[in-house]
Amino acid sequence: MLRGGTSRGLYFEPGDLPADPAERDDLLLRLIGTPDPRQIDGLGGSTSLTSKVAVISRSERPDADVDYLFLQLGVDEPTVGTKQNCGNILAGVGPFAVERGLVPAGQTETSVRIRMVNSDSVAVATFPTPRGRPEYRGDTAIAGVPGTAAPVVLAFAGTEGSATGSLLPTGRVRDTVDGVEVTCVDNGMPVVLAMAESFGLTGYESHALLAADAPLLARVDAFRREAGRLMGLGDPAGTSVPKTVLIAPPRDSGQLCTRSFIPTQPHTSIGVLAAISVVTGVLLPGAVGHELAAGWQKRVDVEHPTGHLQVDVVVDGDADPPRVIRSGVVRTARKLFDGIAFPRAR
């Protein structure tokens, strides 16, 4: 079990799990303790952020060292989703690969090329390995995590169209969904982007206030379903994508304020790849919120309910279609537990 970024998950090698996907998913649900909002009989933490699984193996691709399959487990419902990546859990993949001997460690730092199986794209994680062992202690702080830890630098390539096949899944920079002007973008995470004011919000509401607003959550659900169909994802009911992200001008020295939903519950922060997709979208001329991007440098400070996330995105918006030149982020990870877990009986 590792904390990766602002998430927590169980990390496995394929040999730890049944080969049959249905049997694997059944085992993981019992290990996590789903379905149960408390997850009292499992290892989950009663939130989608702590109900995650990574399966890591040596890669057969020449451009990757390991393959990383991400599985998003439900909390109340017994669902196991494979349609999205998770950039937070990704932060723990490199250290896990070194811990398990899947990748040799350097004497000072190690870079691991990671094929994200869910999108068939590659990320590179670079992290300290003094004396050939992952070092989890450090002085890097990230919002949403107490204390500090060693940095994990994540660089992404080929993430455009991770789930939809295109950076702009609708073929347009701007669309209308449920009467709201939106930008649908997929640079590692399918996101439907709208101004918070379009939902009658300021964009600065607390997580608790959003979570208690049942009419808003119902509207977000209907909104993302319509957006999902428009993005070629079919009816996204029961899946975690697309994500809805509402944006507003910054108010805490950042450059963009966000309120994210996963898929209909408000996020306490914002996912790594969701933030990258949001910044990518806003950088495109004509996109929703593009006026907020005036004067942005290569690194963008994204505000969220519990702090800030720095993302590095460079986009060629003049290309047809627009092209992502690079994207990346700094996260941290920490090993929490290594041992034997006992699933509940069927």
Q: Is the pLDDT of residue 199 over 80?
A: yes
- Average pLDDT, integer, range 312-330: 90
SS3 labels along the chain: CEEECCEEEEEECHHHCCCCHHHHHHHHHHHHCCCCCCCCCCCCCCCHHHCEEEEEEECCCCCCCEEEEEEEECCCCCCEECCCCCHHHHCCHHHHHHHCCCCCCCCCEEEEEEEECCCCEEEEEEEECHHHCCCCCCCECCCCCCCCECEEEEEEECCECCCCCCCCCCCCCCEEECCEEEEEEEECCEEEEEEHHHHCCCCCCCHHHHHCCHHHHHHHHHHHHHHHHHCCCCCCCCCCCCEEEEEECCCCCCCEEEEEECCCCECCCCCHHHHHHHHHHHHCCCCCCHHHHCCCCCEEEEEECCEEEEEEEEEECCCCCCEEEEEEEEEEEEECCCCCCCCCCC
The per-residue pLDDT for range 44-80, each reduced to its tens digit, is 999 999 999 999 999 999 999 999 999 999 999 999 9
Q: Is the pLDDT of residue 198 over 90?
A: yes
Q: Looking at residue 297, what is its pLDDT? A: 78
Q: Looking at residue 143, what is its pLDDT? A: 86
The per-residue pLDDT for range 96-110, each reduced to its tens digit, is 999 999 999 999 999
Q: Looking at residue 168, what is its pLDDT? A: 97
Q: Looking at residue 228, what is its pLDDT? A: 96
Q: Is the pLDDT of residue 83 over 90?
A: no
User: Where do the domains of the chain lie, and which CATH numbers do they carry?
Assistant: 2-161 (3.10.310.10), 175-320 (3.10.310.10)
pLDDT-based confidence at 240, cuts 50/70/90? confident
Q: Looking at residue 130, what is its pLDDT? A: 97
Q: Looking at residue 157, what is its pLDDT? A: 84
Q: What is the pTM of this model?
A: 0.78
The per-residue pLDDT for range 156-166, each reduced to its tens digit, is 988 899 899 99
Q: Looking at residue 219, what is its pLDDT? A: 97
The per-residue pLDDT for range 254-310, each reduced to its tens digit, is 999 999 998 889 999 999 999 999 999 999 999 999 999 998 977 799 999 999 998
Q: Looking at residue 183, what is its pLDDT? A: 98
Q: Looking at residue 223, what is its pLDDT? A: 97
pLDDT-based confidence at 239, cuts 50/70/90? confident
Q: Looking at residue 34, what is its pLDDT? A: 97
The per-residue pLDDT for range 116-159, each reduced to its tens digit, is 999 898 999 999 999 999 999 999 989 889 999 999 999 998 88
Summary mean pLDDT of the chain = 95
